[in-house]
């Protein structure tokens, strides 16, 4: 909301603060200054200030509202424009209110003998500051009244109206031509203003061309209304029409403000365009809103602020804000000003007191000594941090990418048997889906790196992946790592994964040909990663037109967390004797799993005596494969180890 300093000064004559200070105090009390310009208005130097008005304060989408805030802060009085006594006529305006639930109040009058003209210079230049085009004096005055009071109004050319004015939910009209001549299609639930035949306005949002005010207009119907703000906000969002009126009426305006606002508008019309009020004042106000009363504990501002705010100070602030305050025992009975629709509970009053008291008066140069509480950080956090550290130490760069991805990349990398999660209304149409695999970002990243000639690519990403299963949306933390190489060396990515998993304390890691394969993978170089019979991830080589060797692995970090929560292995031992390392050759059929074999072997061994066991060599022998298993025994003599080794592997002799 913009405001000229001279207008504040006119409304708060005792104000001593200059424009800069006013900008600062309004900023600190809830209205951030977001524009400050030296200007000239009516031949004098002036300042045009612009303030951010948050959604709870539509009363300050007005010059008077902002001036009231300034007056309250300094404890000064505000001098609102004086309105001379108005002479109302005898006619009764025919208005039907068909949607009682949606309309809080409507006031309206008929005026005749209007002499409309071009606007005076002061009005034109004022509206210019607000980027409102001057149309003619009547229309401009209606806008001026809105800027002053915050209350939108609408003026119809009475001669263009057939029969009664009605506020209804649209039933028969398909479209409206608005004042700016654009054609808007409307549906059946839009709140409109119509006459016996035609639609005249989208209530609270924009007027129609039909009853537009022209220079020749002589008689008018002038209305102001407040609505259930949700309907206005819904309609203007749905129809995608943003207007000054709609912006104000989609927030909770005070219906009582209409008493002053309509009189103000009538009086300035009479001042500038002559005219007689030919009707009585039409006033539809079925549920008159009464001033809210709150019992307020004056010790609370101190408790909330953490610094002393006296009862007297609180009382003074509330009175300056227009509250009526009386004592009731130890508490204060506060009658709230009705323009403040944002206030309704005790905490609102506390905020008002502290806001005007000034946050800058709450000094705190130390970190607060807050109560010591239990650490509830989940293990998944520590896991992610450790994964980052291990990968970084191993030369990997971290990348982050958008979980919202294109259809194409999701299709290439998807391998899980889950539904896709697709956005309904994203303005970024090129990224309509949530990624199913963490590969999406890494694959796009490496394509870009290769294009730009980046060498030595080792990258990883930790982030969420998403899917839909049984009408439920699922998400889990996922780790992806990706490397490229000049040679065929898939072992490098396996090594990276093994290093990571074993560093985290995980053993019993197996690889099986993958069951589900993404399009992007080489169908012959793709493996599921299995830990304790759980599938925790996938390793594969990417297909490449250019014969590049690019390898990717993905690990479900939530699965890993579950495994680690159960895993309490201990890696520390005391080596008291020399280690005895012995090999054993095992021949298995190609189809037989070496992992199963090792598992059966390990069941026979007393773990206490094993330092390490691993597959040392693999040698194909026709239909069979010969594996060399190397075991390091600990805490056994040469003889004992040999005996043990031969027994487990069913050997007759052992070479050391």
Partner 1 sequence: MNREIIKKLEEEIAVVNSVDDLAKIKNKYFGKGGLFKLPENFKQLSAEEKKSQGTIFYNIKSKAEQILSQKEIDLKKVLSQDTVKKQAEELGFDIPKIGHLHPITQTIRMLNNLFIGMGYSIMEGPEIETDEYCFKRLNVPKDHPARDMQDTIYIKEPNYLLRTQTSSIDARILEKYKPPFKVVCPGRVYRNEKANKSNHFIFHHYQGLVVLPKTNLKDLFGTFDYIFKAMYGKDVVVRYRNKYYPEVEPGVGPDMQCFNCKGKGCSLCKGVGWIEMGGAGIRHPNVLKMAGIDPKKYMAFAFGLGLDRFVMAKYKITDIRTLLGGNIGYKPYQNENTL
Among 82, 101, 417, 427, binds partner 1 (CB under 8 A): 427
Segment 364 to 403, residues that bind partner 1, using CB under 8 A: 364-368, 370-378, 380-381, 385, 388, 391-403
Structure tokens at 139: 């229309």
Please provide residue 539's backbone torsions phi and psi, each rounded to the nearest 5 degrees. -125, 135
Segment 248 to 287, residues that bind partner 1, using CB under 8 A: 250-251
The H or E element containing residue 315 is helix 311-320
Would you count residue 27 as binding partner 1 (CB under 8 A)?
Answer: yes
User: What is d(CA 410, CA 69) in angstroms, rounded to the nearest whole number?
Assistant: 54
Nearer to partner 1, 107 or 205 (CB): 205
Q: Are 66 and 51 in contact (CB under 8 A)?
A: yes
Segment 546 to 565, residues that bind partner 1, using CB under 8 A: none
Q: Which residue has the tokens 């009386």?
A: 326
3-state secondary structure labels for all residues of 143-165: HHHHHHHCCCEEEEEHHHCCCCE
Residue closest to 479 by CA, chosen among 496, 465, 489: 465
Please provide residue 198's backbone torsions phi and psi, each rounded to the nearest 5 degrees. -125, 160
Which range touches partner 1 (CB under 8 A), out of 98-106, 167-175, 274-282, 438-446?
Answer: 438-446
Q: In what order do the strands lie in the sheet with 165-169?
A: 95-97, 165-169, 191-194, 199-202, 206-207
Nearer to partner 1, 230 or 612 (CB): 230
Nearer to partner 1, 304 or 616 (CB): 304
Which range touches partner 1 (CB under 8 A), out of 353-361, 518-526, 570-578, 585-593?
Answer: 353-361
User: What is d(CA 50, CA 149) in angstroms, rounded to the nearest whole number?
Assistant: 17
Nearer to partner 1, 370 or 571 (CB): 370
What is the four-CA torsion angle of 494, 496, 497, 501, rounded to 10 degrees?
140
Q: Are strands 165-169 and 95-97 parallel, antiparallel or unpaired?
A: parallel
Would you count residue 355 as binding partner 1 (CB under 8 A)?
Answer: yes
How far apart are CB 586 and partner 1 at their closest, in Å?
37
* 603 three-class SS: helix
How far apart are CB 443 and partner 1 at their closest, in Å?
10
Nearer to partner 1, 46 or 433 (CB): 433
How far apart are CB 69 and partner 1 at their closest, in Å?
11
Nearer to partner 1, 195 or 348 (CB): 348
Segment 47 to 106, residues that bind partner 1, using CB under 8 A: 54-57
Would you count residue 32 as binding partner 1 (CB under 8 A)?
Answer: yes
Q: Which residue has the tokens 């819904």?
A: 234
How far apart are CB 492 and partner 1 at their closest, in Å?
13
Nearer to partner 1, 5 or 449 (CB): 449
How far apart are CB 388 and partner 1 at their closest, in Å?
6
Among 40, 159, 183, 347, binds partner 1 (CB under 8 A): 347
Question: For 508, how many CA atoms within 13 A lie in the half-sphere containing its CB?
Answer: 17
Would you count residue 421 as binding partner 1 (CB under 8 A)?
Answer: yes
Segment 469 to 488, residues that bind partner 1, using CB under 8 A: 473, 475
Total interface residues for partner 1 by CB under 8 A: 92
Would you count residue 306 as binding partner 1 (CB under 8 A)?
Answer: yes
User: What is d(CA 534, CA 560) in angstroms, rounded to the nearest whole number?
Assistant: 9
How far apart are CB 314 and partner 1 at their closest, in Å?
14
Q: Which residue has the tokens 């890691």?
A: 509
User: What is d(CA 320, CA 340) in angstroms, rounded to the nearest whole number?
Assistant: 13
Q: How far is CA 602 from CA 75, 432, 538, in A?
A: 85, 49, 25
Nearer to partner 1, 508 or 562 (CB): 562
Segment 199 to 218, residues that bind partner 1, using CB under 8 A: none
Nearer to partner 1, 223 or 433 (CB): 433
């Amino acid at each position: 909301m913009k405001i000229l300093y001279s207008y504040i000064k006119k409304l708060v004559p005792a104000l001593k603060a200059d424009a800069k200070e006013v900008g600062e105090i309004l900023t600190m009390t809830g209205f951030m200054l977001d524009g400050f310009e030296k200007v000239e208005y009516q031949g004098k130097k002036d300042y045009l200030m612009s303030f951010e008005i948050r959604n709870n304060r539509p009363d300050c989408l007005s010059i008077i509202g902002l001036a009231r805030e300034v007056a309250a802060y300094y404890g000064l009085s505000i001098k609102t424009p004086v309105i001379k006594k108005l002479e109302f006529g005898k006619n009764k305006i025919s208005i039907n209110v068909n949607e009682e639930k949606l309309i809080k109040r409507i006031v309206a009058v008929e005026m005749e003998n209007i002499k409309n003209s071009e606007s005076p210079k002061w009005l034109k230049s004022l509206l210019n500051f607000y980027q409102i085009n001057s149309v003619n004096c009547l229309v401009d005055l209606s806008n001026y009244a809105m800027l002053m009071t915050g209350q939108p109004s609408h003026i119809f050319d009475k001669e263009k109206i057939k029969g009664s004015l009605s506020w209804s939910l649209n039933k028969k009209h398909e479209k409206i031509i608005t004042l700016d001549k654009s054609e808007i299609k409307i549906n059946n639930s839009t709140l409109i203003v119509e006459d016996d035949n035609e639609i005249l306005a989208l209530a609270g949002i924009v007027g129609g061309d039909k009853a537009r005010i022209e220079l020749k207009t002589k008689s008018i119907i002038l209305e102001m209304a407040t609505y259930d703000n949700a309907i206005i906000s819904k309609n203007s969002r749905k129809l995608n029409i943003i207007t000054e009126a709609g912006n104000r009426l989609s927030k909770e305006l005070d219906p009582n403000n209409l008493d002053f606002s309509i009189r103000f508008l009538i009086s300035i019309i009479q001042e500038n365009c002559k005219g007689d009020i030919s009707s009585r004042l039409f006033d539809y106000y079925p549920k008159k809103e009464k001033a809210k009363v709150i019992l307020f504990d004056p010790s609370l501002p101190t408790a909330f602020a953490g610094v002393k705010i006296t009862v007297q100070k609180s009382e003074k602030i509330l009175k300056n804000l227009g509250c009526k305050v009386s004592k009731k025992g130890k508490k204060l009975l506060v009658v709230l000003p009705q323009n403040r629709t944002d206030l309704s509970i005790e905490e609102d009053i506390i905020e008002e007191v502290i806001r005007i008291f000034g946050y800058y008066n709450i000094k705190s140069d130390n970190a607060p000594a807050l109560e010591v509480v239990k650490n509830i950080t989940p293990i998944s956090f520590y896991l992610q941090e450790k994964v980052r550290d291990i990968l970084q130490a191993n030369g990997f760069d971290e990348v982050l990418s958008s979980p919202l991805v294109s259809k194409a990349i999701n299709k290439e990398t998807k391998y899980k048997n889950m539904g896709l999660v697709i956005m309904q209304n994203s303005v970024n149409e090129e990224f309509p889906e949530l990624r199913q695999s963490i590969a999406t970002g890494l694959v796009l990243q490496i394509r870009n790196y290769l294009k730009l000639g980046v060498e030595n690519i080792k990258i990883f990403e930790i982030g969420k992946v998403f899917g839909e299963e049984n009408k439920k949306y699922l998400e889990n933390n996922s780790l992806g790592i990706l490397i490229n190489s000049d040679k065929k060396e898939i072992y490098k990515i396996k090594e990276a994964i093994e290093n990571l998993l074993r560093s985290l304390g995980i053993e019993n890691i197996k690889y099986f040909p993958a069951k589900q394969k993404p399009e992007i993978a080489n169908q012959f170089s793709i493996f599921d990663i299995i830990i304790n019979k759980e599938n925790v991830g996938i390793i594969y080589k990417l297909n490449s037109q250019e014969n590049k060797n690019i390898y990717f692995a993905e690990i479900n970090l939530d699965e890993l967390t579950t495994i680690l929560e159960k895993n309490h292995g201990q890696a520390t031992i005391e080596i008291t004797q020399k280690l005895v390392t012995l090999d054993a050759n095992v021949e298995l059929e190609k189809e037989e799993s070496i992992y199963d074999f090792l598992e059966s072997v390990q069941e026979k061994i007393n773990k206490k005596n094993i330092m390490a066991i691993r597959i040392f060599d693999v040698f194909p022998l026709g239909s069979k494969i010969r594996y060399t298993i190397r075991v390091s025994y600990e805490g056994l003599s040469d003889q004992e180890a040999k005996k043990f080794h031969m027994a487990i592997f069913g050997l007759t002799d052992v070479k050391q």
